[in-house]
Amino acid sequence: MNVPILPGITAATVTTTRLTTRVLFAGPEDGIPVLFIHGNFSSATWWEETMVALPPRYRAIAPDQRGFGGADPAVKVDATRGMRDFVDDALALMDHLGYERFHLAGNSLGGLVAWWFMADAPSRLLSVTLPGAGSPYGFGGTRDAQGTPTHGDFAGSGGGLLNPVLIQGLLDGDHGTEAPFSPRNVLRMLVWGPPHIPEREDDLLEAMFQVHIGDRDLPGDKEASPNWPYVRPGKWGATNAMSPKYVGNLVQRILAAKDKVNVLWIYGADDVAVSNSAASDPGTWGPTGRLPGYPGAEEYPPQPMMEQIRTLLDAYAGSGGYCEEIAIKDSGHVPFITHQDEFNRIFHAFLERAG
């Protein structure tokens, strides 16, 4: 990758039993490990400021996940496994590096990976931090706090709903702001949140251009549906893996897990990417007429993502877990980038308590 790294960060190509990819490191090699999992349309680059700001007794590790950045482009995401490819990749990395237990932080898609860790490998975790995490029920096509599908075929979720103008902008290498849905404008509208523009926006944007694009990558494949918005998830790529179709009994597994680690749910109060009326949710933009045939809010409401997260964490606390919920004022989807000082103060204190 041709994205520059910050002082204090080292990059290495690591080959495990599952994946060859670029991994970023910071802090002492014998430090307490903190694993950072990035979101969709991004890479490990997005975590660099957070990594170098960790207290000196921590070792930060941030891999490019399969389908992104410096990961082997021949290795694809099997969406029918939900987040399991990402979880298995991360576990193989930590095994390769010799870490039995570790703190985990996941943003957006990375937050979904963290939910699956809590269900399938909680004994490996020291704590979980969820900055701007996606819903445990995935993205799109659910109507209530319990994740009830809007349609039986999960129409309205998966790769078929990604904005084709954005994908074309990535293919064209559009670094500008003239097109309303250029990659840079999408970051400014949906991720940073106005008026915030990170100092390293060009580097973060360049990392966005490193996503792997195709029918088995991003946006992934899709299938036609008779139900509005007339598309349902396919079987390949990260965005299809985020569909509630492949969630299964994840929530029940989280609540039934014997090992329950401390959880920090920290998010931007002005996040429009993960909210109860997310900007990319068909239930939010359906009434605007972007796609004819919207059946109305009774049949296809916006996904209540925040309530889904809150409901799960309330149940998690009720079954023996510990959770903190903190909203960062005036912040969008990535408070660890746009509000670094406030995020780091809260994050570091949580790590110390959890440790």
> Is residue 205 a contact partner of residue 183, using CB atoms and an 8 Å limit?
yes
- Tell me, yes or no, whether 171 lies in a domain: no
Average pLDDT over residues 65-90: 98
> Which residue has tokens 């904005």?
163
- 249-301: per-residue pLDDT in tens? 999 999 999 999 999 999 999 999 999 999 999 999 999 988 899 999 999 99
> Is residue 76 a contact partner of residue 67, using CB atoms and an 8 Å limit?
yes
Q: How many structural domains comprise the chain?
A: 1
- Tell me, yes or no, whether 196 lies in a domain: no
Pairing of strands 218-219, 222-224: unpaired
| Whole-number pLDDT of residue 201 | 98
The residue range of the domain holding 316 is: 10-150+244-354
Determine which of 16-25, 112-121, 282-291, 343-352 has the lowest per-residue pLDDT on average.
282-291
- Tell me, yes or no, whether 210 lies in a domain: no
Is residue 153 scored above 90 in pLDDT? Answer: yes
- Tell me, yes or no, whether 212 lies in a domain: no
CATH number, residue 280: 3.40.50.1820
CA–CA separation, 4 vs 251, rounded Å? 39
Mean pLDDT of the residues in the chain: 97
1 pLDDT band, cuts 50/70/90, is low
| Whole-number pLDDT of residue 2 | 76
- Tell me, yes or no, whether 339 lies in a domain: yes
Q: What angle do CA 194, 200, 204 make, to 5 degrees?
A: 85
CA–CA separation, 355 vs 353, rounded Å? 5
Nearest to 141 by CA among 151, 130, 131: 151
Here the tokens at position 49 are 């400021």
| Whole-number pLDDT of residue 161 | 86
Which 3 state secondary structure label does DSSP give 86? helix
Nearest to 130 by CA among 339, 313, 320: 313
- Tell me, yes or no, whether 229 lies in a domain: no
- Tell me, yes or no, whether 91 lies in a domain: yes
| Whole-number pLDDT of residue 355 | 75
- Tell me, yes or no, whether 54 lies in a domain: yes
> Which residue has tokens 């007794």?
57
